[in-house]
Structure 1
Amino acid sequence: MKKMLLKSYFIIALLTIFSSCKKSNYLNNIEGERIEINEAIASDPEVEAFIKPYKAHVNKMLDSALAYAPQTYSKGDGDLNTAIGNLMADIVLEQANPVFNSRTGNKVDMVLLNYGGIRAPISKGNISARTAYQVMPFENSIIVAEMKGALVKKLIAYLQESKRAHPISGLKLTLDHNFEVVNALINDKEIDDETSYFVATNDYLYNGGSNMSFFKESTNSHILNYKIRNAMIDYFKKVDTINPVRDDRFIQINK
């Protein structure tokens, strides 16, 4: 009984305190000031000294040569396919396949990335991890979508309409002068509407980025937890000299 009375008094006391609070005691607005971080802000010598060895280690890791580029490759080098775009799509196909196969027993049939995802050229000279960060600064990871052939044809329609050098691998697409399909092959075979194809892309595009809404209609997906940037770095470590080229994987002919 005593405990119940004490509890009642405590509740009454709380209610009295809250009811006595005036509106003016509440926070009505917040004022702030924008402080621009630029070279005008002096650095702290003690902080600089502390981070110096870590910064040197990171820079050494980023700038160590992994491979060599005999020339500069830019995404502006072609209309429907470019050497750098072909390289990126081929890297995803080559690096993702062992991971995907070990988990599912299947193989990636084709790759589709986006033109806008290439953010820097690969310059002539040594290629380092920093190169990969410059070309692909995003945290995009590889995801494999399972798509029926009929849905893959929507992907092809997207390429027809966009008329851009979106990086592809495993798919060979030929258009006429009106951008109508002359030939579309996956693994050098005609696309069958009822066959399931495994299409590798990145998580941004899979979720509808760059208006690639067709990926959302896929029957299944496999997240590889493998960033495209890391796939590039792993590939560069394997090769001595890269040799990307423009080819006939996505072309327009006068018919």
Structure 2
Amino acid sequence: MKTRYLISGLALLSIISCKTPLNIAKVQPEKNISISKDLPEDQIFKSIIEPYKMELEGKMNTKISHTSVDLTKQGDDSNLGNLLADYTFEGADDWAKKNGIPGGVDGAVINIGGIRTTIAAGDIMTRQIYEVMPFENEVMIMKMKGSDMQGLFDYYLKTLKNNPVSHIVIETDKDKIVNQLINGKPIDPAKTYYIATSDYLALGGDNMDYFKKGEMIATGIKLRDLFLEKFIANPEIKVPTDSRLNFKNKKNNKTDE
């Protein structure tokens, strides 16, 4: 038995000793060479996508409305901000009345940072709405207790930020709120309010934590789709002229978007 183990061990040792040692080749980093510029264009692929590309470009460059003034996002009451806040209100209000909220919505709040660019005076093309609102944000309706609505006004007093509103009035002077209205009336603590906004803000975006106290109602409406629909329905844009946000004696460290 011992002899058999000895023979097996010698055989294994012999096999191991006959193996060639593993040599690792020297590895050196080399400069990356791009070959994409030398690749020929795939004509078959190009011919397939070209009709779709032309169709898309045609839709993006289709005139949907017209504005006689620049639509900007500057100032407490920016005309573009107020316009889009009104469109948000109108879309949510219509949806609410058709879906079990007979009184509709009471107001709307959107964020100025979500409006990514402005619209110059002249014809308005489809692509400009995509540039203004490139995100896939959805319209939400927040069901709020009247006793929790003070948080909205306190937010504006603290930030003095020109986040657009609709059917809401907020006036401040230094460190005090001098006027706060929803649909033209003071807050009723016993009332239930329905405020239209985006899913981003509904979840507390832009530090709007007061919305977290409410109940979120999803509409399934994309903000950009709603804005497109509204611009198409209004071939000549009439900008809102009412005063909504008025921050008197605004501190220098408080700036607009």
Is the aligned partner of 1:160 residue 2:157? yes
Aligned counterpart for 1:232 among listed residues 205, 227, 231: 227
* Paired position in structure 2 for 1:207: 203
* Paired position in structure 1 for 2:9: none
CA distance, structure 2, for counterparts of residue 236 and residue 223 of structure 1: 23
Shift of 1:247: 3.4
Query: Residue 156 of structure 1: SS of its match in structure 2?
Result: helix
Query: Residue 229 of structure 1: SS of its match in structure 2?
Result: helix
Is the aligned partner of 1:149 residue 2:154? no
Shift of 1:48: 1.9
Q: C-alpha offsets along residues 135-172 of structure 1, whole Å, 9 cap, x if unaligned?
A: 00000000000111222110111111111210100101
* Paired position in structure 2 for 1:107: 104
Unaligned runs of 5+ in 2: 1-31, 250-257
* Paired position in structure 1 for 2:245: 250
Aligned counterpart for 2:131 among listed residues 128, 131, 134: 134
CA distance, structure 1, for counterparts of residue 121 and residue 158 of structure 2: 33
Q: C-alpha offsets along residues 186-243 of structure 1, whole Å, 9 cap, x if unaligned?
A: 111111122111000011111111111111110x221110011011111011112112
Is the aligned partner of 1:187 residue 2:183? yes
Query: Residue 238 of structure 2: SS of its match in structure 1?
Result: coil
Shift of 1:246: 5.0
Unaligned runs of 5+ in 1: 1-33
CA distance, structure 1, for counterparts of residue 208 and residue 33 of structure 2: 39
Query: Residue 99 of structure 1: SS of its match in structure 2?
Result: helix
Query: Residue 150 of structure 1: SS of its match in structure 2?
Result: helix
TM-score, reference length from structure 2: 0.78
Q: 1:61 to 1:42 in 2, by over 3 A?
A: same
Q: Is the 8 A contact 1:74 1:122 kept in 2?
A: yes
Shift of 1:51: 0.6
Is the aligned partner of 1:94 residue 2:94? no
State the aligned residue count. Answer: 216
What is the RMSD computed on CA atoms of the aligned residues? Answer: 2.2
Query: Residue 227 of structure 2: SS of its match in structure 1?
Result: helix
* Paired position in structure 1 for 2:114: 117
CA distance, structure 1, for counterparts of residue 195 and residue 234 of structure 2: 25
Q: 1:194 to 1:238 in 2, by over 3 A?
A: same
Q: C-alpha offsets along residues 17-62 of structure 1, whole Å, 9 cap, x if unaligned?
A: xxxxxxxxxxxxxxxxx999x9898753332221110011111122
CA distance, structure 1, for counterparts of residue 38 and residue 231 of structure 2: 39
TM-score, reference length from structure 1: 0.79
Query: Residue 190 of structure 1: SS of its match in structure 2?
Result: coil
Q: Is the 8 A contact 1:143 1:221 kept in 2?
A: yes
CA distance, structure 1, for counterparts of residue 135 and residue 148 of structure 2: 27
Q: 1:90 to 1:52 in 2, by over 3 A?
A: same
Q: 1:161 to 1:57 in 2, by over 3 A?
A: same
* Paired position in structure 2 for 1:196: 192
Shift of 1:132: 1.2
Query: Residue 111 of structure 1: SS of its match in structure 2?
Result: strand
